[in-house]
Amino acid sequence: MDQDMVMRARVQLLGANRRVVGGVEGLRIYRLLTQVAPEVYGSKLAYVLVEASASSLVRELPEQRLALLDEAVAVASALDAANPYRTTVLAKAFAARRELEGRQTHEL
């Protein structure tokens, strides 16, 4: 792991002055930092993945949306059961996935 990249990502979080950084920037930051400290950043990554799956960038791309939600489920599932955010982000990821699957079924 490139420690300079990790340090830059942490500095960007500090500079963002927000509880959770969203969008493409948030995905990049949390994907990197989750590799270093999954219990600290994994719930934020799962949250941002669910948020990204509803963005206008992928709204008409069901396969990409599903991939983002599958990643969110995997990240949230990997969190320790004692993690206070695990249940919440896992429930959001599953709910978003069910909603997407329901829409796909109705469109057929």
Domain count, the chain: 1
Tell me the per-residue pLDDT of 41-88, one tens digit each, with 9 for 90 and over.
999 999 999 999 999 989 889 999 999 999 999 999 999 999 999 999
pTM value is 0.90
**CA dist., res. 98 & res. 9, Å (int):** 32
For 85, other C-beta atoms within 10 Å of its C-beta total: 15
Tokens representing 105 are 């079924």
What is the average pLDDT value for the chain, to the nearest integer? 92
Q: Is the Cβ–Cβ distance between 39 and 83 less than 8 Å?
A: yes
Which residues form the domain of 74? 3-107
Residue 97 is which amino acid?
R
For tokens 């599953």, the residue is 94
